[in-house]
Structure 1
Amino acid sequence: MTTTKDGISHTRTRIQQFNATKQLEFFESLKLAKFSGQLAIHDVQDTSWTLYLYLGRIVYATGGIHPVRRWRRNLVAYCPQRLAHFNEIQLELATIPEEECRISWEYKLLSLWIDQKKITREQATRMIKATIIEVLFDLAHPIEVFCQTIKDNLISTRLVLIEAEQVIAEANKLWQAWQEAKIADRSPDMAPVIRQPEALKKRTSSQVYQNLSQLLDGQQTLRDLSIRMRRDVVTVTRSLIPYIQLGLVQLITIDDIPPPVSPPIAHKLSKGISPHRILIACIDDSPQICQSMEHIMRSAGYQFVSEMDGLRAIAVLLNRKPDLIFLDLIMPNTNGYEICTQLRKLSYFKQTPIVIVTGNDGLIDRVRAKMVGSTDFISKPVDEKLVLGTIEKYLSKKV
């Protein structure tokens, strides 16, 4: 357990296979402890979720790869009357006091709409419950998760208190159905798109083809389509499997949609977000070093990415765009000097802290590292206090 300067206590737990059984055990422990605050969860791909609890009961959940899509489709399903006033949402968010902006804007909107009698408490409850079930369903997939409990009292208004056992059972029922349909290797957050329109047209009736052409545009996920078609996501996905297996339709990964928040409001809303979502990268050909660095980063609450192949390092770093890079000096086929030189030629990494890590702590190495644009230089074996101190030194504003 750690305690921040403001007195908020944090506890982190590493869990293998966060399935229904382990979810039940974990939430039961929170219920027995009468825990109130945030449960922050992230997996090894750095996807993160946040659940808000009061005395061990779940109040709300958010996060995942498509939090805004989830909010939008649940709005369609449970509060459709608000869609007619969608343009008002930015103004409504602007009325939320700054000190209340540390919890998710989706939940604050529901509270506001209930107060203004724009939706019923029953509508909000159904939307919250559906959101929590979807989050718990998604958490059944990762091989490993890291759970961080943060004791606080952010939620002044508790719209509903949901027993974890109930929503875990419902999420597990959906997960079992997903597995039994033999589609567990696919994500309901993927979007179907037609790849061979002429071949698909020959295999279907004109009416079916017309419907598929309108629906499978690559802009709507399987979950989005299930709401639009008013059918459960398993049924929708199974109906598309024959076309997918023939290569006529493909499932692709798509981004989340932008939140209905203007930049100034988004800045205000982001002020209370936990600072522990900084991404640290380690480029080192040693599995032991990568594992040691990962343990240090995960324990401190940072996101982490590593790459042991120096030739792939730049591609990985460009894809993930870390906030700080620990870079090994000596690697097969390349070295830290060359990688650092190439990174500094890229506009995105001109200001990114790059810390050279090596067992050769010599003056010549230090001078050369400085000449190629490195920010700092630390010696192996890596020391946890030195590593975390280096991060705080160069990312103090973010940390």
Structure 2
Amino acid sequence: MSNQVVGLLSLARAIAQVNHNQVSGTLMVRQGQIHWRLEFHQGKLVCTTGSDHRVRRWRRALMGQQIEPAELTTGQPPTSYDPWEYALLSRAVMAGRLDSGKAEQVLAALTLEALTQIATDTAIRVTWEARSNRLLDCAAVGSGLHLPGDRLQQLLKDARDLSQLLPSDRPAQAWIDRGLSLDAGIELDDSRQHTTLSLQPLFNGRRTFWDLALKLNQSPAMTARMLGYFFRQQLLTFQVLPDLEFHPMLSSTGSAAGSATPATKAEPPLVVCIDDSMVVLQRLERIVTQAGYRFCGMRDSVQALTQLIELKPDLILLDVVMPVVNGYEICAQIRRVKALEHTPIVILTGHDGTIDRVRAKLARASEFLSKVSDSGRILATLERHLPSHNSTRPHPPHPDPSLSGRTANGQDQGAGFNLNSPPSAFKSALA
């Protein structure tokens, strides 16, 4: 095995262990001064980010799928948590503005770039950080967006193969985030001089390896072979490139895009709405988020209880008429879960009769609200049941699955697992 693959193999082992134990958290990869974060939700990779050229990678991934950044935003910017890339993609998928297949391709592009750079270095350090990121979990639950395991295995193989095509004489970082220029001043024969001059406008010092592959509309492997030729001819020069400016619509706080760790502050209350109507979810999301709360919409009433136990929302908006299981039954089930027995539940319905109110009371709902209520009444309801944004209300004591290593039903989730002794699935991908 090439020494160049050793670093990637250690990461593959860690990924396999995370996948096997179905845990939520972050694989932190340190590569010199660069830090990579692979975010997992229940063992599934949902996003990959890095400390260098974070916005450039994001723009390239969107351009590769012919997605305009404006397509992923509404009038209200998403919250400023990390990873904001996943927030934008998952919100667009849930709102029907982006096909889930395209969103997965964006995640794959972000991940391939990271894995390729990791594969060019043997001296990486991989650590695991368990976490309970309710906002990320909410987005993952709502959209279901993630990279399938077989796709991730293929990306590991592609990154390994691609890294071996890049000349090893130059530091790995030079091929990833340096602007490349062609030096036409060196004396060459006529045929090579003509080729060099024709490509000079592309190799203008403002494009990286990945930018060139996208601009030339060719595979990274083909681009790597071309660069390898120019490198051997000593025609390439490298220039340090800054990252692009952070798009103001990506963060409500204007924080730097390259920051791998969000600022520590109290999170706004999380409101979960369970309703099979996307129109209703979109309307409520707009009202709730504009008021400064976090929002998660769910359309599947069957999976709702499991997801609620995982997310532990501060308030639940619950539709009555839904397929398979109605809102009153879900409400009664929620009240039987100790971790949720005191969570405010507001029943939503298009009917406002006495019988409906009695059924809501019997199911131990906190309040009854008509779906046709205006935004003022909806906000007044939220304010009655939710703490002030400036205060922090501790949740009732209950185990957090992603921190304790146990699922909601008490099954072992793999807490304290050893990253050095994983299952063989992802390791064999690099064999």
Q: Is residue 48–residue 111 contact of structure 2 (8 Å, CA) maintained in 1?
A: yes
Specify whether residues 245 and 124 from structure 1 end up closer, same or farther in structure 2 by C-alpha distance, changes over 3 A only. same
- Matched-pair identity in %: 18
**TM-score if structure 2 supplies the norm length?**
0.50
* TM-fit CA distance, 1:220: 0.4
Post-superposition CA distance 1:176-218 (Å, at most 9, x none)? 3431565574533133212334746945364x34531210000
Show the counterpart of 1:150. 130
In 1, Cα distance between equivalents of 2:201 and 2:225 = 18
In 1, Cα distance between equivalents of 2:75 and 2:160 = 34
Q: Is residue 162–residue 220 contact of structure 2 (8 Å, CA) maintained in 1?
A: no
In 2, Cα distance between equivalents of 1:93 and 1:152 = 28
Show the counterpart of 1:36. 24
* TM-fit CA distance, 1:93: 8.2
* TM-fit CA distance, 1:67: 1.6
Show the counterpart of 2:156. 171
Q: CA RMSD in A?
A: 3.4
Specify whether residues 210 and 195 from structure 1 end up closer, same or farther in structure 2 by C-alpha distance, changes over 3 A only. closer
Tell me, which stretches of 5 or more residues in structure 2 are unaligned? 265-431
Show the counterpart of 2:105. 126
Bigger RCO (CA 8 Å, 6+ sep): 2
Specify whether residues 36 and 241 from structure 1 end up closer, same or farther in structure 2 by C-alpha distance, changes over 3 A only. closer
In 1, Cα distance between equivalents of 2:115 and 2:258 = 24
Post-superposition CA distance 1:249-301 (Å, at most 9, x none)? 3233322222213797323989993569xxxxxxxxxxxxxxxxxxxxxxxxx
In 2, Cα distance between equivalents of 1:108 and 1:241 = 37
In 2, Cα distance between equivalents of 1:21 and 1:128 = 21
**Equivalent residue for 2:91, pick from 85, 88, 112:** 112
* TM-fit CA distance, 1:53: 0.8
| Aligned residue type for 1:195 | D
* TM-fit CA distance, 1:109: 1.6
- Number of paired residues? 251
* Greater fraction strand: 1
Tell me, which stretches of 5 or more residues in structure 1 are unaligned? 1-15, 277-399
| Aligned residue type for 1:49 | W
**Equivalent residue for 2:200, pick from 213, 230, 247:** 213
Specify whether residues 210 and 144 from structure 1 end up closer, same or farther in structure 2 by C-alpha distance, changes over 3 A only. closer
**Equivalent residue for 1:254, pick from 241, 244, 251:** 241
* TM-fit CA distance, 1:147: 1.4
In 2, Cα distance between equivalents of 1:232 and 1:54 = 30
**Equivalent residue for 2:11, pick from 18, 23, 28:** 23
Q: Is residue 133–residue 168 contact of structure 1 (8 Å, CA) maintained in 2?
A: no
In 2, Cα distance between equivalents of 1:212 and 1:72 = 23
**TM-score if structure 1 supplies the norm length?**
0.54
SS in 2 for 1:216: coil
Show the counterpart of 1:266. 254
1:1-399 paired onto structure 2 within 5 Å: 19-43=7-31, 45-78=32-65, 80-82=66-68, 85=70, 92=74, 94-96=76-78, 98=79, 101-142=80-121, 143-153=123-133, 154-155=135-136, 156-158=138-140, 159-164=144-149, 166-180=151-165, 182-183=167-168, 185=170, 187=172, 188-189=175-176, 190-197=178-185, 199=187, 202-204=190-192, 206=194, 208-261=195-248, 265-267=253-255, 273-274=261-262
Post-superposition CA distance 1:113-157 (Å, at most 9, x none)? 224433211110111122223222222233131413132133112
Q: Is residue 28–residue 38 contact of structure 2 (8 Å, CA) maintained in 1?
A: yes
